[in-house]
Amino acid sequence: MEKQNDWWKEAIVYQVYPRSFQDSNGDGTGDLQGIISRLDYIRSLGIDIIWLNPIYASPNDDNGYDISDYRAIMKEFGTMEDFDELLKEVHVRGLKLVLDLVVNHTSDEHPWFKEARKSRNNPYYNYYHWWPVEKEHPAYRPSYFEKSAWQYNPRTRSWYLHYFSRKQPDLNWENPEVRREIYKMMEYWFDKGIDGFRMDSIPLIAKEPEFPPIERRKYPDFFSSYAHGPHLHDYLHEMNREVLRKYDVMTVGEGSAITYKDVAKFVEPEREELNMLYGFGPAEVRNYTTPDSPDSGVPYSLLALKRMFSAWDRAVGNGWPAVYLGNHDQPRMLSRFGNDVPAFREISAKMLATFLLTLRGTPYWFAGDELGMVNPGFGHIEEYRDLATLNQYKEIKRKKGSPERFLETQKQISRDNARTPMQWDSSLYAGFSSVQPWIRVNPDYREWNVAEEEKNPDSVLNYFRKMVAFRKANRALVRGNYTLIEANNPQVYAYWREDDRQKFLIALNFSQYATEFSPGIDGEELETVLGNYTDYRVLGKTNRLRPYEALIFKRR
Ligand code: NOJ
Protein backbone atom coordinates (compact mmCIF):
# COMPACT_ATOMS: atom_id res chain seq x y z
CA MET A 1 0.00 0.00 0.00
CA GLU A 2 1.00 3.60 -0.50
CA LYS A 3 3.01 4.95 2.37
CA GLN A 4 1.02 7.47 4.35
CA ASN A 5 4.00 9.72 4.35
CA ASP A 6 4.12 11.08 0.83
CA TRP A 7 6.09 14.24 1.61
CA TRP A 8 7.66 14.11 -1.84
CA LYS A 9 4.31 15.06 -3.39
CA GLU A 10 4.44 18.45 -1.73
CA ALA A 11 8.11 19.00 -2.40
CA ILE A 12 10.07 20.89 -5.01
CA VAL A 13 13.27 19.24 -6.18
CA TYR A 14 16.32 21.34 -6.97
CA GLN A 15 18.82 19.54 -9.20
CA VAL A 16 22.48 20.29 -8.64
CA TYR A 17 25.09 19.23 -11.19
CA PRO A 18 28.01 19.01 -8.74
CA ARG A 19 30.73 19.46 -11.33
CA SER A 20 29.33 22.88 -12.22
CA PHE A 21 27.89 24.25 -8.98
CA GLN A 22 30.76 25.54 -6.85
CA ASP A 23 34.48 24.80 -6.80
CA SER A 24 35.96 25.09 -3.30
CA ASN A 25 39.57 24.01 -3.86
CA GLY A 26 40.58 25.88 -6.99
CA ASP A 27 40.85 22.99 -9.43
CA GLY A 28 38.15 24.27 -11.79
CA THR A 29 35.71 21.48 -10.90
CA GLY A 30 32.77 21.81 -8.53
CA ASP A 31 32.86 19.70 -5.37
CA LEU A 32 30.98 18.73 -2.21
CA GLN A 33 32.52 21.42 -0.01
CA GLY A 34 31.45 23.89 -2.68
CA ILE A 35 27.87 22.68 -2.40
CA ILE A 36 28.03 22.90 1.41
CA SER A 37 29.12 26.52 1.12
CA ARG A 38 26.02 27.27 -0.99
CA LEU A 39 23.40 25.47 1.08
CA ASP A 40 22.08 28.69 2.56
CA TYR A 41 21.45 29.97 -0.94
CA ILE A 42 19.62 26.78 -1.84
CA ARG A 43 17.56 26.99 1.30
CA SER A 44 16.70 30.61 0.55
CA LEU A 45 14.92 29.46 -2.60
CA GLY A 46 12.26 27.66 -0.58
CA ILE A 47 12.82 24.29 -2.23
CA ASP A 48 12.74 21.05 -0.25
CA ILE A 49 14.90 18.40 -1.87
CA ILE A 50 18.33 18.52 -3.45
CA TRP A 51 19.09 15.93 -6.12
CA LEU A 52 22.76 15.50 -6.90
CA ASN A 53 23.98 13.97 -10.15
CA PRO A 54 26.44 11.10 -9.48
CA ILE A 55 29.14 11.82 -6.93
CA TYR A 56 30.70 8.35 -6.80
CA ALA A 57 34.21 7.27 -7.81
CA SER A 58 34.41 7.42 -11.58
CA PRO A 59 36.91 7.77 -14.41
CA ASN A 60 34.41 10.32 -15.79
CA ASP A 61 33.97 9.11 -19.29
CA ASP A 62 30.36 10.32 -18.89
CA ASN A 63 30.75 12.76 -15.98
CA GLY A 64 30.14 10.26 -13.22
CA TYR A 65 27.52 8.11 -14.95
CA ASP A 66 30.30 5.53 -15.25
CA ILE A 67 30.85 4.38 -11.68
CA SER A 68 33.96 2.46 -10.60
CA ASP A 69 33.07 2.25 -6.89
CA TYR A 70 29.52 2.71 -5.61
CA ARG A 71 30.69 3.21 -2.04
CA ALA A 72 33.34 5.87 -2.62
CA ILE A 73 33.23 9.55 -3.52
CA MET A 74 34.71 10.83 -6.78
CA LYS A 75 38.11 12.23 -5.83
CA GLU A 76 37.50 15.51 -7.69
CA PHE A 77 34.41 16.02 -5.51
CA GLY A 78 35.97 15.21 -2.11
CA THR A 79 35.85 12.42 0.44
CA MET A 80 33.28 10.39 2.32
CA GLU A 81 33.79 12.76 5.27
CA ASP A 82 32.78 15.62 3.00
CA PHE A 83 29.71 13.67 1.98
CA ASP A 84 28.73 12.95 5.59
CA GLU A 85 29.12 16.62 6.38
CA LEU A 86 27.03 17.58 3.38
CA LEU A 87 24.24 15.23 4.37
CA LYS A 88 24.27 16.54 7.92
CA GLU A 89 24.24 20.18 6.79
CA VAL A 90 21.39 19.50 4.37
CA HIS A 91 19.33 17.92 7.14
CA VAL A 92 20.17 20.66 9.63
CA ARG A 93 18.52 23.07 7.21
CA GLY A 94 15.39 20.97 7.00
CA LEU A 95 16.15 19.89 3.44
CA LYS A 96 16.43 16.41 1.98
CA LEU A 97 19.09 14.83 -0.19
CA VAL A 98 18.49 12.53 -3.13
CA LEU A 99 21.33 10.78 -4.98
CA ASP A 100 21.57 9.35 -8.46
CA LEU A 101 21.38 5.55 -8.68
CA VAL A 102 23.18 4.35 -11.79
CA VAL A 103 22.66 0.60 -12.05
CA ASN A 104 21.93 -0.08 -15.69
CA HIS A 105 25.70 -0.11 -16.15
CA THR A 106 28.98 0.36 -14.30
CA SER A 107 32.26 1.77 -15.49
CA ASP A 108 34.54 -0.66 -17.32
CA GLU A 109 36.95 0.26 -14.51
CA HIS A 110 34.65 -1.13 -11.84
CA PRO A 111 36.32 -4.17 -10.15
CA TRP A 112 33.40 -6.38 -11.30
CA PHE A 113 34.06 -5.62 -14.92
CA LYS A 114 37.83 -5.77 -14.57
CA GLU A 115 37.34 -9.33 -13.36
CA ALA A 116 34.59 -10.18 -15.81
CA ARG A 117 36.62 -9.31 -18.85
CA LYS A 118 39.46 -11.69 -17.85
CA SER A 119 37.82 -14.99 -18.72
CA ARG A 120 34.51 -16.67 -19.32
CA ASN A 121 35.05 -18.70 -16.17
CA ASN A 122 35.50 -15.71 -13.97
CA PRO A 123 32.72 -15.53 -11.34
CA TYR A 124 32.00 -11.94 -12.44
CA TYR A 125 31.59 -12.79 -16.12
CA ASN A 126 27.85 -13.21 -15.63
CA TYR A 127 27.55 -9.82 -14.02
CA TYR A 128 27.44 -8.42 -17.56
CA HIS A 129 25.92 -9.31 -20.93
CA TRP A 130 28.09 -11.11 -23.45
CA TRP A 131 27.79 -12.49 -26.95
CA PRO A 132 30.35 -15.26 -27.67
CA VAL A 133 32.16 -15.44 -31.03
CA GLU A 134 30.90 -19.00 -31.64
CA LYS A 135 27.47 -17.55 -32.32
CA GLU A 136 26.99 -15.43 -35.39
CA HIS A 137 27.67 -11.74 -35.05
CA PRO A 138 25.00 -10.19 -32.76
CA ALA A 139 22.10 -8.43 -34.44
CA TYR A 140 22.67 -4.71 -34.74
CA ARG A 141 21.66 -2.52 -31.83
CA PRO A 142 22.76 1.07 -31.54
CA SER A 143 24.28 2.65 -28.44
CA TYR A 144 23.16 6.08 -27.26
CA PHE A 145 26.71 7.36 -27.56
CA GLU A 146 28.31 5.16 -30.19
CA LYS A 147 27.38 3.39 -33.35
CA SER A 148 27.11 -0.12 -31.95
CA ALA A 149 26.14 -1.28 -28.47
CA TRP A 150 28.48 -4.30 -28.70
CA GLN A 151 32.19 -4.06 -27.99
CA TYR A 152 34.59 -6.92 -28.63
CA ASN A 153 36.74 -8.14 -25.74
CA PRO A 154 39.59 -10.35 -27.05
CA ARG A 155 40.37 -12.14 -23.77
CA THR A 156 36.92 -13.68 -23.48
CA ARG A 157 36.41 -13.90 -27.24
CA SER A 158 33.04 -12.23 -26.82
CA TRP A 159 31.32 -8.91 -27.23
CA TYR A 160 29.92 -7.09 -24.21
CA LEU A 161 26.83 -4.94 -24.28
CA HIS A 162 26.91 -1.20 -23.62
CA TYR A 163 23.79 0.87 -24.29
CA PHE A 164 25.87 3.96 -23.52
CA SER A 165 29.62 4.34 -24.10
CA ARG A 166 32.00 1.38 -24.37
CA LYS A 167 33.25 2.45 -20.95
CA GLN A 168 29.75 1.81 -19.53
CA PRO A 169 29.11 -1.97 -19.78
CA ASP A 170 25.51 -2.98 -18.98
CA LEU A 171 24.90 -5.02 -15.84
CA ASN A 172 23.12 -8.32 -16.12
CA TRP A 173 19.99 -8.02 -13.99
CA GLU A 174 19.04 -11.60 -14.85
CA ASN A 175 21.75 -12.63 -12.42
CA PRO A 176 20.26 -12.62 -8.88
CA GLU A 177 23.73 -12.03 -7.46
CA VAL A 178 23.91 -8.69 -9.30
CA ARG A 179 20.55 -7.65 -7.96
CA ARG A 180 21.57 -8.58 -4.42
CA GLU A 181 24.74 -6.52 -4.71
CA ILE A 182 22.74 -3.52 -5.93
CA TYR A 183 20.19 -3.81 -3.14
CA LYS A 184 22.96 -4.00 -0.54
CA MET A 185 24.56 -0.92 -2.00
CA MET A 186 21.23 0.95 -1.89
CA GLU A 187 20.86 0.00 1.76
CA TYR A 188 24.34 1.31 2.45
CA TRP A 189 23.26 4.77 1.31
CA PHE A 190 19.83 4.66 2.93
CA ASP A 191 21.43 3.61 6.21
CA LYS A 192 23.63 6.66 5.96
CA GLY A 193 20.43 8.67 5.85
CA ILE A 194 19.90 9.82 2.28
CA ASP A 195 16.30 10.54 1.37
CA GLY A 196 15.91 8.88 -1.98
CA PHE A 197 17.23 8.01 -5.38
CA ARG A 198 16.77 9.31 -8.88
CA MET A 199 17.19 6.15 -10.93
CA ASP A 200 19.22 6.55 -14.06
CA SER A 201 18.02 4.82 -17.26
CA ILE A 202 15.98 2.50 -15.07
CA PRO A 203 13.62 1.21 -17.81
CA LEU A 204 16.64 -0.20 -19.65
CA ILE A 205 17.83 -2.63 -16.97
CA ALA A 206 15.90 -5.67 -18.25
CA LYS A 207 17.28 -7.27 -21.40
CA GLU A 208 15.99 -9.97 -23.70
CA PRO A 209 18.66 -12.62 -23.06
CA GLU A 210 18.80 -13.76 -26.69
CA PHE A 211 19.15 -10.22 -28.08
CA PRO A 212 16.98 -10.88 -31.14
CA PRO A 213 16.98 -8.39 -34.00
CA ILE A 214 14.80 -5.43 -33.10
CA GLU A 215 11.42 -5.48 -34.79
CA ARG A 216 11.42 -2.17 -36.59
CA ARG A 217 7.70 -2.27 -37.18
CA LYS A 218 6.97 -2.51 -33.49
CA TYR A 219 9.83 -0.22 -32.48
CA PRO A 220 10.61 2.32 -35.21
CA ASP A 221 12.65 4.02 -32.53
CA PHE A 222 15.26 1.40 -31.58
CA PHE A 223 15.59 2.66 -28.05
CA SER A 224 11.97 2.12 -27.14
CA SER A 225 12.56 -1.62 -27.50
CA TYR A 226 15.29 -1.33 -24.85
CA ALA A 227 12.75 0.00 -22.38
CA HIS A 228 10.38 -2.93 -22.73
CA GLY A 229 12.54 -5.85 -21.66
CA PRO A 230 11.06 -8.86 -19.87
CA HIS A 231 10.96 -8.83 -16.05
CA LEU A 232 11.50 -5.07 -15.80
CA HIS A 233 8.53 -4.67 -13.48
CA ASP A 234 9.41 -7.80 -11.54
CA TYR A 235 12.81 -6.32 -10.80
CA LEU A 236 11.38 -2.98 -9.72
CA HIS A 237 8.82 -4.68 -7.53
CA GLU A 238 11.50 -6.85 -6.02
CA MET A 239 13.68 -3.80 -5.36
CA ASN A 240 10.75 -2.16 -3.64
CA ARG A 241 10.07 -5.23 -1.49
CA GLU A 242 13.68 -5.89 -0.65
CA VAL A 243 14.81 -2.32 -0.03
CA LEU A 244 12.58 0.67 -0.67
CA ARG A 245 9.63 -0.13 1.51
CA LYS A 246 11.85 -0.41 4.55
CA TYR A 247 12.75 3.27 4.37
CA ASP A 248 10.91 6.57 4.28
CA VAL A 249 12.43 7.67 0.99
CA MET A 250 11.37 8.86 -2.44
CA THR A 251 12.20 7.41 -5.83
CA VAL A 252 11.98 8.89 -9.28
CA GLY A 253 12.89 6.97 -12.39
CA GLU A 254 14.36 8.49 -15.47
CA GLY A 255 11.81 7.31 -18.00
CA SER A 256 14.25 6.70 -20.84
CA ALA A 257 12.28 5.77 -23.95
CA ILE A 258 9.03 5.49 -21.98
CA THR A 259 5.92 7.26 -23.18
CA TYR A 260 2.94 8.28 -21.08
CA LYS A 261 1.24 5.04 -22.14
CA ASP A 262 3.51 3.03 -19.85
CA VAL A 263 3.99 5.36 -16.90
CA ALA A 264 1.24 3.91 -14.70
CA LYS A 265 3.04 0.58 -14.55
CA PHE A 266 5.92 2.28 -12.77
CA VAL A 267 4.10 4.61 -10.44
CA GLU A 268 0.70 3.29 -9.42
CA PRO A 269 1.14 2.84 -5.66
CA GLU A 270 -0.49 -0.59 -5.48
CA ARG A 271 2.16 -1.96 -7.85
CA GLU A 272 4.87 -1.08 -5.31
CA GLU A 273 7.56 -0.01 -7.73
CA LEU A 274 8.58 3.67 -7.94
CA ASN A 275 7.02 6.91 -6.68
CA MET A 276 7.54 8.93 -9.83
CA LEU A 277 8.88 8.66 -13.36
CA TYR A 278 9.73 11.45 -15.75
CA GLY A 279 9.67 11.05 -19.50
CA PHE A 280 11.43 12.72 -22.37
CA GLY A 281 8.36 14.55 -23.63
CA PRO A 282 9.80 18.06 -23.28
CA ALA A 283 12.81 17.15 -25.40
CA GLU A 284 10.66 15.65 -28.11
CA VAL A 285 8.28 18.55 -28.29
CA ARG A 286 10.99 21.09 -28.85
CA ASN A 287 13.20 19.09 -31.17
CA TYR A 288 10.72 17.47 -33.48
CA THR A 289 7.61 19.58 -33.71
CA THR A 290 7.01 22.42 -36.10
CA PRO A 291 5.10 25.54 -35.03
CA ASP A 292 1.32 25.25 -34.99
CA SER A 293 1.02 28.21 -37.30
CA PRO A 294 3.72 30.37 -38.89
CA ASP A 295 2.49 33.50 -37.10
CA SER A 296 1.95 32.02 -33.64
CA GLY A 297 5.19 33.48 -32.32
CA VAL A 298 5.97 30.13 -30.68
CA PRO A 299 8.86 28.40 -32.50
CA TYR A 300 7.55 24.90 -31.74
CA SER A 301 4.16 23.30 -31.30
CA LEU A 302 2.58 24.54 -28.10
CA LEU A 303 -0.35 22.22 -28.85
CA ALA A 304 2.06 19.27 -28.69
CA LEU A 305 3.49 20.55 -25.40
CA LYS A 306 0.01 20.82 -23.91
CA ARG A 307 -0.96 17.39 -25.17
CA MET A 308 2.19 15.93 -23.69
CA PHE A 309 1.86 17.40 -20.20
CA SER A 310 -1.87 16.71 -20.14
CA ALA A 311 -1.43 13.11 -21.28
CA TRP A 312 1.20 12.40 -18.60
CA ASP A 313 -1.01 14.03 -15.96
CA ARG A 314 -3.87 11.67 -16.82
CA ALA A 315 -1.75 8.62 -17.45
CA VAL A 316 -0.22 8.39 -13.98
CA GLY A 317 -3.60 7.16 -12.73
CA ASN A 318 -3.51 7.23 -8.96
CA GLY A 319 0.25 7.63 -9.09
CA TRP A 320 1.93 11.03 -9.09
CA PRO A 321 3.52 13.09 -11.91
CA ALA A 322 7.08 14.39 -12.06
CA VAL A 323 7.33 17.59 -14.11
CA TYR A 324 10.36 19.39 -15.50
CA LEU A 325 11.47 21.52 -18.43
CA GLY A 326 15.21 21.00 -18.30
CA ASN A 327 18.00 19.03 -16.71
CA HIS A 328 21.68 18.16 -17.25
CA ASP A 329 20.83 16.24 -20.45
CA GLN A 330 18.83 19.03 -22.04
CA PRO A 331 19.60 22.55 -23.15
CA ARG A 332 18.58 25.40 -20.86
CA MET A 333 14.79 25.52 -20.56
CA LEU A 334 14.72 29.24 -21.21
CA SER A 335 16.55 28.94 -24.55
CA ARG A 336 14.32 26.06 -25.49
CA PHE A 337 10.81 26.95 -24.35
CA GLY A 338 11.11 30.65 -23.62
CA ASN A 339 12.99 33.29 -25.53
CA ASP A 340 16.56 34.21 -24.67
CA VAL A 341 16.85 37.42 -26.71
CA PRO A 342 17.36 40.44 -24.40
CA ALA A 343 13.85 41.83 -24.85
CA PHE A 344 12.12 38.65 -23.70
CA ARG A 345 14.64 36.84 -21.56
CA GLU A 346 13.47 37.96 -18.16
CA ILE A 347 9.75 37.87 -18.84
CA SER A 348 9.79 34.48 -20.51
CA ALA A 349 11.95 33.03 -17.70
CA LYS A 350 9.31 34.19 -15.22
CA MET A 351 6.53 32.77 -17.37
CA LEU A 352 8.22 29.35 -17.40
CA ALA A 353 8.68 29.45 -13.63
CA THR A 354 4.96 30.22 -13.27
CA PHE A 355 4.21 27.29 -15.52
CA LEU A 356 6.31 24.63 -13.83
CA LEU A 357 5.32 25.73 -10.34
CA THR A 358 1.60 25.63 -11.03
CA LEU A 359 1.53 22.20 -12.63
CA ARG A 360 0.31 19.13 -10.81
CA GLY A 361 3.18 16.90 -9.80
CA THR A 362 6.55 17.30 -8.16
CA PRO A 363 8.54 19.97 -10.02
CA TYR A 364 12.18 19.22 -10.83
CA TRP A 365 14.08 22.48 -11.13
CA PHE A 366 17.55 22.58 -12.65
CA ALA A 367 20.04 24.84 -10.83
CA GLY A 368 20.64 28.11 -12.63
CA ASP A 369 17.21 28.23 -14.25
CA GLU A 370 16.11 30.43 -11.36
CA LEU A 371 18.56 33.05 -12.67
CA GLY A 372 17.39 32.79 -16.25
CA MET A 373 20.58 31.06 -17.38
CA VAL A 374 20.67 30.33 -21.11
CA ASN A 375 22.61 28.21 -23.61
CA PRO A 376 26.18 29.50 -23.93
CA GLY A 377 26.22 29.35 -27.76
CA PHE A 378 29.52 27.43 -28.05
CA GLY A 379 30.70 27.71 -31.63
CA HIS A 380 33.82 25.51 -31.59
CA ILE A 381 34.17 21.84 -30.93
CA GLU A 382 37.03 22.62 -28.50
CA GLU A 383 34.51 24.26 -26.17
CA TYR A 384 32.47 21.07 -25.77
CA ARG A 385 33.15 18.42 -23.14
CA ASP A 386 30.23 16.01 -23.49
CA LEU A 387 31.16 12.67 -25.02
CA ALA A 388 27.83 12.55 -26.85
CA THR A 389 28.70 15.72 -28.77
CA LEU A 390 32.36 14.75 -29.22
CA ASN A 391 31.59 11.26 -30.52
CA GLN A 392 28.97 12.49 -32.95
CA TYR A 393 31.37 15.13 -34.21
CA LYS A 394 34.03 12.48 -34.95
CA GLU A 395 31.42 10.41 -36.76
CA ILE A 396 30.32 13.38 -38.90
CA LYS A 397 33.95 14.06 -39.84
CA ARG A 398 34.51 10.39 -40.64
CA LYS A 399 31.47 10.34 -42.89
CA LYS A 400 32.55 13.63 -44.49
CA GLY A 401 29.35 15.34 -43.33
CA SER A 402 29.05 19.01 -42.47
CA PRO A 403 30.73 19.85 -39.14
CA GLU A 404 29.41 23.42 -39.43
CA ARG A 405 25.82 22.27 -39.62
CA PHE A 406 26.42 19.85 -36.77
CA LEU A 407 27.86 22.61 -34.57
CA GLU A 408 24.90 24.84 -35.35
CA THR A 409 22.54 22.14 -34.05
CA GLN A 410 24.66 21.47 -30.98
CA LYS A 411 24.27 25.12 -30.01
CA GLN A 412 20.60 24.28 -29.57
CA ILE A 413 20.64 20.74 -28.23
CA SER A 414 24.02 19.70 -26.78
CA ARG A 415 23.87 18.54 -23.18
CA ASP A 416 26.76 20.90 -22.42
CA ASN A 417 24.33 23.81 -22.79
CA ALA A 418 23.07 23.03 -19.29
CA ARG A 419 26.43 22.17 -17.81
CA THR A 420 28.21 25.52 -17.78
CA PRO A 421 29.20 26.78 -14.31
CA MET A 422 26.64 28.31 -11.98
CA GLN A 423 26.80 32.11 -12.18
CA TRP A 424 27.29 33.44 -8.66
CA ASP A 425 28.69 36.92 -9.21
CA SER A 426 30.42 39.14 -11.75
CA SER A 427 33.99 38.31 -10.73
CA LEU A 428 36.25 36.33 -13.05
CA TYR A 429 34.80 32.82 -13.63
CA ALA A 430 31.51 33.98 -12.13
CA GLY A 431 32.48 33.18 -8.54
CA PHE A 432 32.37 29.50 -9.45
CA SER A 433 36.12 28.96 -9.27
CA SER A 434 39.39 30.83 -8.95
CA VAL A 435 40.77 29.17 -12.09
CA GLN A 436 39.54 28.41 -15.61
CA PRO A 437 36.69 25.94 -15.03
CA TRP A 438 36.45 22.50 -16.65
CA ILE A 439 33.92 23.97 -19.09
CA ARG A 440 33.64 27.61 -20.12
CA VAL A 441 31.47 30.00 -18.17
CA ASN A 442 28.65 31.53 -20.19
CA PRO A 443 30.00 34.97 -21.21
CA ASP A 444 26.77 36.64 -20.07
CA TYR A 445 27.64 35.99 -16.39
CA ARG A 446 28.64 39.59 -15.62
CA GLU A 447 25.03 40.62 -15.94
CA TRP A 448 23.20 37.40 -15.11
CA ASN A 449 24.30 36.14 -11.73
CA VAL A 450 23.02 35.56 -8.19
CA ALA A 451 24.66 38.65 -6.63
CA GLU A 452 23.09 41.01 -9.20
CA GLU A 453 19.70 39.40 -8.98
CA GLU A 454 19.67 39.45 -5.19
CA LYS A 455 19.76 43.25 -5.39
CA ASN A 456 16.74 43.53 -7.63
CA PRO A 457 13.34 42.71 -6.11
CA ASP A 458 11.94 42.08 -9.60
CA SER A 459 14.70 39.75 -10.78
CA VAL A 460 13.99 36.30 -12.16
CA LEU A 461 15.57 34.89 -9.00
CA ASN A 462 13.23 36.78 -6.69
CA TYR A 463 10.25 35.95 -8.85
CA PHE A 464 11.18 32.28 -8.58
CA ARG A 465 11.24 32.58 -4.78
CA LYS A 466 7.87 34.29 -4.86
CA MET A 467 6.39 31.54 -7.03
CA VAL A 468 7.78 28.81 -4.79
CA ALA A 469 6.22 30.48 -1.77
CA PHE A 470 2.94 30.97 -3.63
CA ARG A 471 2.74 27.31 -4.56
CA LYS A 472 3.45 26.27 -1.00
CA ALA A 473 0.80 28.61 0.41
CA ASN A 474 -1.92 27.28 -1.86
CA ARG A 475 -2.75 23.64 -1.51
CA ALA A 476 -4.79 23.48 -4.71
CA LEU A 477 -1.64 24.24 -6.68
CA VAL A 478 -0.01 21.20 -5.15
CA ARG A 479 -2.73 18.61 -4.68
CA GLY A 480 -5.55 19.99 -6.80
CA ASN A 481 -6.78 18.63 -10.13
CA TYR A 482 -5.37 19.91 -13.39
CA THR A 483 -7.82 20.71 -16.19
CA LEU A 484 -6.61 22.01 -19.52
CA ILE A 485 -8.73 24.63 -21.26
CA GLU A 486 -8.29 26.28 -24.64
CA ALA A 487 -6.58 23.11 -25.85
CA ASN A 488 -6.41 24.40 -29.43
CA ASN A 489 -5.01 27.84 -28.74
CA PRO A 490 -1.55 27.86 -30.39
CA GLN A 491 -0.22 30.69 -28.19
CA VAL A 492 -1.82 30.38 -24.78
CA TYR A 493 -1.48 27.51 -22.35
CA ALA A 494 -4.30 27.78 -19.79
CA TYR A 495 -5.61 25.44 -17.12
CA TRP A 496 -7.51 25.22 -13.88
CA ARG A 497 -6.07 23.90 -10.65
CA GLU A 498 -8.72 23.08 -8.16
CA ASP A 499 -9.38 21.25 -4.91
CA ASP A 500 -12.39 21.27 -2.62
CA ARG A 501 -11.50 24.70 -1.26
CA GLN A 502 -9.66 26.68 -3.89
CA LYS A 503 -9.78 27.21 -7.62
CA PHE A 504 -7.10 28.84 -9.72
CA LEU A 505 -6.94 29.70 -13.39
CA ILE A 506 -3.47 29.94 -14.89
CA ALA A 507 -3.03 31.66 -18.25
CA LEU A 508 0.35 31.69 -19.94
CA ASN A 509 1.28 33.34 -23.19
CA PHE A 510 4.06 31.21 -24.67
CA SER A 511 4.40 33.55 -27.64
CA GLN A 512 6.44 36.64 -28.39
CA TYR A 513 3.24 38.30 -29.64
CA ALA A 514 0.45 39.75 -27.59
CA THR A 515 -2.76 37.81 -27.91
CA GLU A 516 -6.40 37.82 -26.92
CA PHE A 517 -7.58 35.22 -24.51
CA SER A 518 -11.20 34.44 -23.60
CA PRO A 519 -11.21 31.88 -20.89
CA GLY A 520 -14.95 31.31 -20.92
CA ILE A 521 -15.39 32.03 -17.25
CA ASP A 522 -18.87 33.49 -17.26
CA GLY A 523 -20.35 33.39 -13.84
CA GLU A 524 -17.03 32.89 -12.11
CA GLU A 525 -15.83 35.66 -9.83
CA LEU A 526 -12.13 35.74 -10.33
CA GLU A 527 -9.40 38.01 -9.10
CA THR A 528 -5.87 38.30 -10.38
CA VAL A 529 -3.49 37.16 -7.68
CA LEU A 530 -0.14 36.98 -9.38
CA GLY A 531 1.53 37.87 -12.64
CA ASN A 532 4.98 38.12 -14.15
CA TYR A 533 4.56 41.73 -15.36
CA THR A 534 4.85 44.09 -12.41
CA ASP A 535 1.68 45.89 -13.49
CA TYR A 536 -0.55 42.88 -13.97
CA ARG A 537 -4.19 43.72 -14.27
CA VAL A 538 -7.52 42.42 -13.16
CA LEU A 539 -9.43 39.96 -15.23
CA GLY A 540 -11.93 41.11 -17.79
CA LYS A 541 -14.18 39.10 -20.04
CA THR A 542 -11.57 39.07 -22.74
CA ASN A 543 -8.00 39.55 -21.83
CA ARG A 544 -5.05 40.75 -23.72
CA LEU A 545 -1.96 38.84 -22.75
CA ARG A 546 1.28 40.63 -23.46
CA PRO A 547 4.29 38.69 -24.83
CA TYR A 548 5.11 35.84 -22.44
CA GLU A 549 2.65 37.15 -19.91
CA ALA A 550 1.69 34.80 -17.08
CA LEU A 551 -1.40 35.43 -14.94
CA ILE A 552 -2.84 33.53 -12.03
CA PHE A 553 -6.51 34.12 -11.13
CA LYS A 554 -8.28 32.89 -8.07
CA ARG A 555 -11.97 32.27 -7.55
CA ARG A 556 -13.29 34.64 -4.95
C1 NOJ B 1 20.98 9.34 -18.32
C2 NOJ B 1 21.77 10.42 -17.66
O3 NOJ B 1 20.92 11.46 -17.27
C4 NOJ B 1 22.82 10.84 -18.64
O5 NOJ B 1 23.49 12.00 -18.25
C6 NOJ B 1 23.77 9.68 -18.81
O7 NOJ B 1 24.69 9.99 -19.83
C8 NOJ B 1 23.03 8.40 -19.20
N9 NOJ B 1 21.80 8.21 -18.48
C10 NOJ B 1 23.89 7.20 -18.97
O11 NOJ B 1 24.04 6.96 -17.60
Mutate to test the pocket of ligand 1, among 58, 146, 164 (most ligand atoms within 8 A of CB): 164
Q: Is 278 in the pocket of ligand 1 (CB under 6 A)?
A: no
Kindly indicate the confidence band of residue 526, based on its pLDDT and cuts at 50, 70 and 90.
confident
SS3 content of the chain, % helix, strand, coil (to 5): 35, 15, 45
Q: Is 201 in the pocket of ligand 1 (CB under 6 A)?
A: yes
Q: What is the pLDDT of residues 196-218, one digit of tens each?
A: 999 999 999 999 989 999 988 88
Ligand 1 centroid vs 33 CA: distance in angstroms? Answer: 24
pLDDT value of residue 4: 53
> H or E element: which one contains 391?
helix 387-398
516 given a catalytic annotation: no
Give me the torsion for CA of 7, 8, 10, 13, rounded to 10°: 140
Ligand 1 centroid vs 413 CA: distance in angstroms? Answer: 15
Q: What is the pLDDT of residues 346-387, one digit of tens each?
A: 999 999 999 999 999 999 999 999 999 999 999 999 999 999
State what percent of residues in the chain have pLDDT above 90: 90
Ligand 1 centroid vs 543 CA: distance in angstroms? Answer: 43
Q: Which of 513, 536, 482, 542 is nearest to 357 (CA)?
A: 482
The vertex-400 CA angle with 394 and 403, nearest 5°, equals 60
Ligand 1 centroid vs 200 CA: distance in angstroms? Answer: 6
pLDDT value of residue 538: 63
Q: Is the Cβ–Cβ distance between 474 and 466 less than 8 Å?
A: no
Three-state SS sequence of 259-316: CHHHHHHHHCHHHCCCCEEECCHHHHHHHHCCCCCCCCCCCCCHHHHHHHHHHHHHHC
- Can you tell me the distance from the alpha carbon of 341 to that of 69, in angstroms, rounded to the nearest whole number? 44
Q: Is 292 in the pocket of ligand 1 (CB under 6 A)?
A: no
Indicate the SS3 state at residue 343: helix
> Identity (one letter) of the amino acid at 21?
F
Interacting residues of 501 by C-beta distance below 8 A, sequence separation 6+: 475, 476
Q: What is the pLDDT of residues 221-275, one digit of tens each?
A: 888 999 999 999 999 999 999 999 999 999 999 999 999 999 999 999 999 999 9
Q: Which of 14, 18, 16, 15 is nearest to 437 (CA)?
A: 18
Mutate to test the pocket of ligand 1, among 58, 65, 68, 170 (most ligand atoms within 8 A of CB): 65
Ligand 1 centroid vs 54 CA: distance in angstroms? Answer: 10
Q: What is the pLDDT of residues 117-138, one digit of tens each?
A: 999 999 999 999 999 999 988 9
* DSSP state letters, 513-534: S-EEE----TT--EEEEEESST
Q: Is the Cβ–Cβ distance between 484 and 310 less than 8 Å?
A: yes
Q: Is 386 in the pocket of ligand 1 (CB under 6 A)?
A: no
- Can you tell me the distance from the alpha carbon of 372 to that of 370, in angstroms, rounded to the nearest whole number? 6
Q: Name the residue with higher pLDDT: 97 or 284.
A: 97
Q: Is 60 in the pocket of ligand 1 (CB under 6 A)?
A: no
Ligand 1: residue whose CA is nearest its atom 5 = 329
170 given a catalytic annotation: no
pLDDT value of residue 2: 43
**Sign for the pseudo-dihedral over CA of 514, 516, 519, 525:** positive
Q: Taking the model in full, what pTM does it have? A: 0.97
